[in-house]
């Protein structure tokens, strides 16, 4: 066997980089490799520091990362751990509801953690810009949970456990545990103003944070990220209409006044708690739980704000019809290449006139999207699914309809989309014959089954969230950060 030193340098580098990317090797193993010699150090340190998963107790260590390693950091995931709780003893173990003082304590914990993280990263900025003028920035991901959450809900599993291939931690849930997981609102006024972070280009908050984060809190975070280009936000639908109305009003303010000017890619997905582990589904809302009546002002605000986006996916949080009806002729989505929206109009109980009216409005708005490559409007849940697709590529364009029921697309809808293809791409529209059924309703248990059918599925939901969602639907568990 040839000695390692006799191999060409390019081959040695390729072997080391392949080893560094091997998912079977944990951080500890990579750290050991980095200690072998200086020629190995940069390769394995680059892999070791690429993605850091931290809790608030790790932030002191983050500040002490060697200066040479800081440019390697591309993704920081801060999993903020709130205070733990225990069930009340008695004939039946019950988790008591969260009190106001509990909410206040948790908010203090979150405020301190976010403030510390921002201050550490701020201390990196000048040094990184001086050392690497072309530094591409980092992804900042946040989640909030109590370590008790997976212990007391039925079949609770942590994200850390999923990453290691572990199963859920508890089989038997306790009464009140699910309500505690969804908990009180996170509403924070950062009395020590957060510093502006120029190095963050992507911000993520996934669905496994089930607590409601107020728009005011999000405003304070997002407004301090002036170079943000990519936003992924997966909030939860509220169980009370009065609370949802307040949340929607907050979304309008957030969209209008808090999103950085340079934002290019936005993914919004509103999940709903029906069918969660230990939570019963009301008989009259099982099929349409995800199809709440969206606030039209949210859709209108997002339509106006998105004119500078390159891609947008907004599922369940806005209604596609509201988005398209808000369109004004003076608007132009000059850079928008991908658009994905949901619509409760895509339902077999709706009249074909209503569905075609919405699709016509979509075509009218698409005339102002000159570089649009893909638009998908979809809906789905237990027993039903529908996808309307427009796609343009290599001088060709087509529209297609896929659903669990048949729909005749009106001639005026086809004509509107033919004009889109001709005006924007210089080609005629083809209506696919596969504007047909996509299987029986039994194949669709949840909206995640519909996502698998989308061309733009990578834009609709983060990969980790989709994996967690699939596990929850299949095994009846609840995934926590």
Measured CA to CA, the distance from residue 177 to residue 277 in angstroms comes to 10
Contact 48, 21 (CB under 8 A): no
| pLDDT at site 107 | 96
pLDDT band at 168 (very low <50, low <70, confident <90, very high): low
**Which pTM value belongs to this model?**
0.88
DSSP 138-178: EEEEEEEE-TTHHHHSTTEEEHHHHHTT---S-SS--BTHH
Q: What percent of the chain has pLDDT over 70?
A: 80
What are 201-218's pLDDT values in tens digits?
999 999 999 999 999 999
Question: ∠125-128-131 over CA atoms, to 5°?
Answer: 145
Mean pLDDT of 8-16: 58
Measured CA to CA, the distance from residue 413 to residue 411 in angstroms comes to 5
Coil/strand/helix, residue 222: helix
| pLDDT at site 441 | 55
Residue 426 DSSP one-character state: S
Q: What percent of the chain has pLDDT over 90?
A: 56
Show Cβ contacts of residue 39 under 8 Å, excluding neighbours closer than 6 positions: none
| pLDDT at site 38 | 58
Mean pLDDT of 18-32: 53
81 φ, ψ to 5°? Answer: -100, 115
Measured CA to CA, the distance from residue 226 to residue 258 in angstroms comes to 10
Q: 72 vs 390, which has greater pLDDT?
A: 390
Measured CA to CA, the distance from residue 424 to residue 257 in angstroms comes to 31
| pLDDT at site 28 | 46
210 φ, ψ to 5°? Answer: -90, -15
């Amino acid at each position: 066997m040839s000695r390692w030193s006799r191999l060409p340098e390019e081959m040695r580098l390729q072997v080391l980089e392949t080893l560094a990317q091997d998912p079977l090797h944990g951080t500890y193993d990579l750290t050991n490799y980095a200690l072998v010699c200086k020629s190995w150090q940069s390769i394995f340190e680059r892999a070791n520091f690429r993605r850091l998963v931290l809790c608030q107790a790790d932030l002191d260590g983050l500040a002490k990362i060697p200066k040479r390693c800081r440019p390697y950091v591309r993704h920081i995931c801060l999993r903020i751990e709130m205070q733990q709780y225990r069930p009340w003893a008695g004939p039946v173990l019950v988790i008591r509801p969260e009190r106001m003082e509990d909410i206040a304590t948790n908010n203090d914990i979150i405020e301190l953690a976010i403030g510390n993280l921002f201050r550490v990263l701020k201390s990196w900025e000048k040094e990184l810009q001086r050392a690497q003028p072309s530094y591409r920035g980092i992804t900042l991901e946040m989640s909030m949970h109590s370590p008790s959450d997976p212990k007391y809900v039925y079949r609770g599993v942590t994200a850390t456990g999923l990453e290691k291939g572990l199963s859920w931690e508890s089989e038997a849930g306790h009464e009140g545990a699910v309500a505690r997981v969804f908990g009180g609102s996170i509403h924070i006024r950062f009395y020590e103003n957060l510093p502006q972070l120029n190095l963050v280009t992507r911000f993520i908050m996934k669905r496994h944070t089930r607590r409601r984060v107020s728009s005011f809190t999000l405003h304070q975070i997002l407004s301090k990220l002036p170079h943000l280009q990519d936003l992924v936000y997966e909030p939860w639908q509220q169980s009370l209409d009065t609370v949802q109305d307040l949340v929607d009003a907050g979304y309008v303010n957030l969209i209008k006044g808090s999103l950085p000017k340079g934002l290019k890619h936005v993914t919004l997905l509103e999940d709903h708690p029906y069918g969660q582990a230990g939570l019963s589904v009301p008989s009259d809302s099982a099929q349409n739980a995800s199809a709440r009546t969206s606030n039209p002002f949210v859709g209108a605000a997002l339509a106006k704000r998105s004119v500078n986006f390159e891609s947008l996916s907004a599922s369940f949080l806005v209604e596609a019809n509201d988005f398209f009806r808000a369109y004004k002729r003076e608007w132009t989505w000059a850079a928008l290449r991908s658009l994905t929206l949901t619509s409760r109009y895509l339902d077999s109980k709706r009249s074909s006139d209503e569905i075609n009216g919405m699709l016509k409005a979509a075509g009218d708005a698409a005339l102002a999207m000159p570089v649009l490559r893909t638009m998908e409007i979809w809906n789905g849940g237990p027993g039903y699914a529908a996808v309307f697709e427009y796609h343009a590529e290599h001088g060709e364009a087509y529209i297609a309809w896929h659903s669990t029921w048949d729909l005749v697309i009106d001639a005026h809808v086809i004509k509107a989309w033919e004009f889109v293809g001709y005006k924007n791409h210089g080609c005629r529209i083809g209506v696919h014959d596969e504007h047909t059924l996509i299987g029986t309703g039994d194949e669709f248990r949840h909206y995640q089954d519909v996502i698998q059918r989308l061309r733009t599925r990578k834009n609709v939901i983060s990969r980790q969230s989709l994996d967690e969602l699939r596990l929850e639907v299949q095994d009846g568990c609840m995934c926590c950060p």
